[in-house]
Amino acid sequence: MTAIDPAGTVAVVGAGTMGQGIAQVALTAGHPVRLYDAAPGRAEEAARAIAARLGRLVDKGRLDAAGRDAALARLQPAARLAELADSALVIEAIVEQLPVKQKLFAELESVVPDMCLLATNTSSLSVTAVAGGLKLPGRFVGLHFFNPAPLLPLVEVVRGFATDAAAAEQAAATVAAWGKTPVTCADAPGFIVNRIARPFYAEAFRLYEERAADPATLDAVLRECGGFAMGPFELTDLIGQDVNEAVTRSVYESFFHDPKFRPSLAQRRLVEAGLLGRKSGRGWFDHSADAQRPLP
């Protein structure tokens, strides 16, 4: 199965952290990209952020100015879903709530052609459930990019119960053509990375709660002896404590409250206090000095 047509339009719905990154990836791969967000003005704001990020790549010599200008000329913010009608692929990156995603895809199905691939970037919901109300669920897949999407190569291609093998293959071939490394998996809670990573976070947080060692020490041990690029405390400060806790809760619910996946009380306290990590200036660590540092 081949990738979607390189000249085919890729629509990205949800112009937040992930939507911006995914739109940048599709743009630099040569596609026309439509970016839609339900919040008025958010798609235009995201287009400006993408322009600034491509500008930084030019400054670093990783993209030439003509390439940046051509990419930006292919980017069109959309004010209405109806403007996504000629899409070859739609990737959804909206709020992580099942009914909201289901409603969006029901609306999208009446807008896009039957041949259009539909994908969700959900990190913790069941792909099968998101596709639940679709008339044509065979063309629906999970395309789980990691943050920051322009930098991290892995994309999990998730097959829901009703996903056609051809759709999963086409989605994998498409992200491979974008320079990513697709790994196809079934619709298991947490897919691969978020499932395997749960004990990495959970045991570290439990050790902290048991006063075994402080976050900086535990991070240093895992970095220096475990070979991890980042420890669990600094990594969850980068991801966002709220985002990370929501994934843990979702996996915990999916396994009928198996204590192995029990969320952390200390992390809950951080979330309740708004100490979300880098994005709020403080999480496990104080980030007031680098909170405004832009991502590459």
Q: Which of residues 116-155 bind ligand NAI (CB under 6 A)?
A: 121-123, 145-147
Among the options 87, 92, 124, 156, which is catalytic?
Answer: 156
Give me Rg for the CA atoms of the chain. 19
Q: Which long-range contacts (CB under 8 A, 24 or more apart) does 282-290 make?
A: 283/236, 283/237, 283/241, 284/215, 284/233, 284/234, 284/236, 284/237, 284/241, 285/215, 285/216, 285/233, 285/234, 285/237, 287/237
Tell me, what DSSP letter sits at residue 279? G
Options 3-11, 37-45, 129-137, 170-178: segment touching ligand NAI (CB under 6 A): 37-45
Q: How many residues bind ligand NAI (CB under 6 A)?
A: 25
- CA 230 to chain CA mean position, Å: 19
Strands 75-78 and 33-36 come out as: parallel
C-alpha distances in Å from residue 261, one per residue of 68, 97, 186, 199, 277: 44, 20, 20, 7, 22
For ligand NAI, which is the closer residue by CB, 120 or 264? 120
For ligand NAI, which is the closer residue by CB, 60 or 80? 80
Under the criterion CB under 6 A, does residue 248 sit at the interface with ligand NAI? Answer: no
Under the criterion CB under 6 A, does residue 95 sit at the interface with ligand NAI? Answer: yes
- Which residue in the set 4, 10, 12, 13 belongs to the binding site for ligand NAI (CB under 6 A)? 13
- Which residue in the set 100, 106, 115, 265 belongs to the binding site for ligand NAI (CB under 6 A)? 100
Options 8-16, 110-118, 126-134, 285-293: segment touching ligand NAI (CB under 6 A): 8-16
Under the criterion CB under 6 A, does residue 96 sit at the interface with ligand NAI? Answer: yes
Under the criterion CB under 6 A, does residue 16 sit at the interface with ligand NAI? Answer: yes
Among all residues, whose Cβ is closest to ligand NAI? 16
- Which residue in the set 23, 37, 90, 137 belongs to the binding site for ligand NAI (CB under 6 A)? 37
For the chain, the distance separating the N- and C-terminal CA atoms, rounded to the nearest angstrom, is: 33
